[in-house]
Amino acid sequence: MKKIQLEKAGVQCQLQFFKKTDEVIKPSLFFFLKKGDLILWDYENHSQYKLDEPYIDRLIEIASGKPIVEDDITRHLREEGLLVKEKEETREWGWDELSWIFHQGTKNPPRLESDANNWFEAYLQNCQSKPSPKEAPSSSKGEAISLAPIDKKLFQSKSLYEVCQERMTSRTFSGEKINFEVFSSLIGATFGYSSAPWGKNGNYEIYAKHKVSPSAGGLHPFEFYIMVHHVENIDPGIYKYDPQAHCLYPFEKGDFREQLIHSLAGQNFVKDLSFGVFFVADFSRVWWKYEHSRAYRQVLLDAGHQSQTCLLLATSLGLLTWPTGAIQDKEVEKLLKIENDKFSPIFFVGIGTGKPNSFNEEIISILKSNR
Ligand SMILES: Cc1cc2nc3c(=O)[nH]c(=O)nc-3n(C[C@H](O)[C@H](O)[C@H](O)COP(=O)(O)O)c2cc1C
């Protein structure tokens, strides 16, 4: 076996074993081993097959360009759409096969609802047929810190339009202490429950509580770990926000700024943030309901919505913001002691005081020297 260089997808990396014959093995397949069985996954059609030896042999024969033997195996492969007429490769794709497989494999997932008349009954039946997961218990290392009640007056100095115009990514922070009431209001207003009900036409709070940001299926899969550097009344350290009680659970106290820089790909201006929030997805809150990997996309979209709410509310409080997706997963998992694969840090938003500059001195001097 020879290890090969990872290549970008595209016309130049067509798999060599699809030889020029009238029929070929369908390109959108991959093979993997599971408990000793070789599984063929047609990711475009969302079908999997356990391959017996004669089928493995036949696929190898066809792949190596040998004349195709006409028998039940070949007919079966054809019926299942695994043997197809050869077409010219037309895809334009700048990433590797992995992203192609994810992209194609999460397109057109099997539909739940059967028609427009009964889609909601089908949806409800599907939800009720599955046990929903329990929230993970908080692993706190000390007494909870109650946050101050949300003070909505703090958000009223600018219109939403002005806030949207003002929001920007800042990279020049000064590391000043943030007032406890301001901090509490931002965390509660962004990540807590909404004071508004689901709608005015019924009491739906019995199903789930409403939040400020939208979330696919109302599942809200994120937990929020807060890295406190400079916040009034709160010691530096790592905390977890509990939206139910509007409090912080101490997770680990101390100065974690060096680890944070390392965890965020060396972007060293994070050391001067007043605090930052890791958005950690709990995938199990989603996969019980949406079983197809398509839902992975929704989790990422949810992170974007949560993040934008946070950025806008922070801006309306006169704070500076810095979002990043440059998460070094292993490092963050170590920092937050995440050991279960169902949890994954997806995004980070840094908040602080300073100058509303897109670039700090260091970046500017590098830019100047590169002119
Ligand atoms: C998903 C996402 C990931 C980002 N990752 C980084 C990052 O790793 N480092 C950084 O300095 N900015 C990051 N940003 C900020 C963008 O660079 C910034 O939004 C963009 O340059 C536009 O500038 P603006 O936010 O001031 O409008 C990210 C933004 C988003 C939405």
Chain segment 240-286, per-residue pLDDT in tens: 999 999 999 999 999 999 999 999 999 999 999 999 999 999 999 99
Q: What is the CA radius of gyration of the chain?
A: 26
- CA–centroid distance for 360 within its chain: 28
Q: How far apart are CA 98 and CA 326, in angstroms?
A: 19
Is residue 300 within 6 Å of ligand 1 at its C-beta? no
Residue extents of the structural domains in the chain = 11-105, 140-366
pLDDT at res. 11: 39
Is residue 169 within 6 Å of ligand 1 at its C-beta? yes
Pocket of ligand 1, candidates 269, 321, 324, 327: which has the most ligand atoms within 8 Å of its Cβ, to mutate?
324
- Please name the residue that has the structure tokens 């329990």: 134
pLDDT at res. 198: 72
Q: In what order do the strands lie in the sheet with 247-253?
A: 145-146, 247-253, 237-242, 222-228, 275-282, 343-352, 320-324
> How many A from CA of 266 to the centre of ligand 1?
15
> How many A from CA of 356 to the centre of ligand 1?
14
Q: Name the CATH code of domain 140-366 (choices 1.10.10.10, 3.40.190.10, 3.90.870.10, 3.40.109.10).
A: 3.40.109.10
pLDDT at res. 306: 98
Query: Over its length of 371 residues, how does the chain's per-residue pLDDT go in tens digits?
Result: 666 565 554 433 334 344 346 899 999 999 999 999 999 999 999 999 999 999 999 999 999 989 999 999 999 999 999 999 988 778 899 999 999 999 999 999 887 656 777 877 887 887 788 776 666 556 667 899 999 999 999 999 999 999 999 999 999 999 999 999 999 999 999 999 987 777 777 777 666 778 999 999 999 999 999 999 999 999 999 999 999 999 999 999 999 999 999 999 999 999 999 999 999 999 999 999 899 999 999 999 999 999 999 999 999 999 999 999 999 999 999 999 999 999 999 999 999 999 999 988 888 888 889 88
